[in-house]
Structure 1
């Protein structure tokens, strides 16, 4: 059962339990009962059920907040159309949480610097790198990686409507007002030696296209053309995603997962970053033993 439907079922079950308590409570507590205490009991019931069925901890907060959001909406007499609009907006932003059980996680600048470091350390200097961000959100990683001279292609796949739309608008804006989205290789490298000049020319010749954000289902999008695939998803899709990675990505390529390791698979390397949330990157180099 998709987690969103399980969460709603637990909310309804908690309401049934609350109704039962209200029916028997007059034996000990004189009615009427304030809405505040009813919501408090409802929150406690739904939190208990959510823990019992072992939903992820981020669901605990959502389950507790929902009854209080309903409560404050009633207290403040919020127009139902506003509530509907907010609900639609949330669905459009977090659409992947309903289909693939993947919330919208955004990579920070420290993580992007680590990805840049990985390109420099894990790939041959003269080899063009093809990068893909699975679940690219607002496109920040895609645009950043395209600036690296060694990255010949930088793509992202995103199906949540609003993040996809925002990323496309960002792409148009940057093209329109900056002229291009990549740094000039001549500016990124210090000229002076024939080797450096050859490297600059090689980077320019290897540059294939502008960064692209694609509204494609990650399960149907082929990975065979990419040397470097990055994902910041959740625990739910990792086993299935790993099967796709080892089936499609070429030997020697790299798959990097932010925060969520592949169950039962030993990472090639683990990088602990020095940001506030102490991000962990799990690096997997595709080897013949994985096939």
Structure 2
């Protein structure tokens, strides 16, 4: 029996490109239909004759509904809807193309992880760092923050737990560079690496701290379950592992976000 084809295995940016391409074809077809109407009914020419604005508005609407049909994350829907209109506005305002090149380079360096891992940039708060430190046993630990961003959690953890070895790994170049600069500025012992945490062996660590996204949690859990020691902890800020009951929760007074703590030994088969 043939396997069911699914777009879920493709990077979201690639799916988005496909959606915009299909939406453009559909919008162009709609404009062609409007032109045919005006040819047969000349009196309707002022009302139905398409323009560039018509094309781009239709493209955004088609892309919006296609993204829903392909079950993209909700924020992608509004990106699809507004992207063609943003192009229209840029053309109308005659914004120099060099500005777009600069913006593309900066956003690409900052949000490269979104394309590869579906994980946007989420910075955590100081109360999270302190709460995680208080949860840990008072002994030397090997701590890894995956998706370390600007490095604030790892640097603070190294200050709170100086006896421990703290590392961070980040796939986006610009946040990684900032984290390295920060570690030098604060004379921190944290080691920051540029790369994908999927290639790291979790068996080398007592604590894995993650602030990723719901899309990344199932694969993260599978990797942790295979590689992590029974005494080690997986802590995910804000996003729980779907279908898995956490060992405990850490709640915060400032907002509704929580840390979900998983004592890996509880999930080993007996």
TM-score by length of 1: 0.79
In structure 2, C-alpha distance between the alignment counterparts of 1:101 and 1:130, rounded to whole Å: 26
Q: Residues 86-97 of structure 1: matches in 2 within 5 Å? A: 86-97=103-114
Q: Distance in 2 between matches of 1:216 and 1:8?
A: 25
Q: Please, which of 165, 170, 176 is the counterpart of residue 153 of structure 1? A: 165
Indicate how the Cα distance of structure 1 residues 238 and 151 shifts in structure 2: closer, same or farther if over 3 A, else same: farther
1:134 aligns with 146
Structure 2 CA distance, aligned partners of 1:103 and 1:247?
A: 25
Instruction: Compute the displacement of 1:254 (Å).
Output: 0.9
Change (3 A) 1:63 1:274: farther
CA distance in structure 2 between the aligned counterparts of 1:158 and 1:139, rounded to whole angstroms? 9
Matched, 1:80 2:97: yes
Report 1 or 2 for greater relative contact order, CA contacts < 8 Å, sequence distance ≥ 6. Answer: 1
The alignment status of 1:19 with 2:28, answered yes or no, reads yes
Larger helix proportion, structure 1 or 2? 2
CA deviation digits over 1:193-221, x for unaligned, max 9?
xxxxxxxxxxxxxxxxx111112321121
Which residue of 2 is the match for residue 250 of structure 1? 229
Contact kept? 1:130, 1:151, Cα under 8 Å: no
Q: 1:248 to 1:6 in 2, by over 3 A?
A: same
What is the match of residue 287 of structure 1?
265
Match of 1:262 among 241, 247, 261: 241
Of residues 180, 185, 188, the one that matches 1:173 is: 185
Q: Find 1:9's aligned residue among 14, 18, 22.
A: 18
Secondary structure at 2:143 match in 1: strand
C-alpha contact (below 8 Å) 1:131/1:151 kept by paired residues: no
The normalised TM-score by structure 2 is: 0.85
- Measure how far apart 1:247 and its partner are: 2.2
Structure 2 residue runs without a partner (length 5+): 1-9, 39-43
Give the Å deviation of 1:32.
4.1
**RMSD of aligned Cα (Å):** 2.0
**Pair 150,164 (structure 1): closer, same or farther in 2 beyond 3 Å:** closer
3-state SS of paired residue (1:265): coil
Displacement of 1:244 after TM fit?
1.8
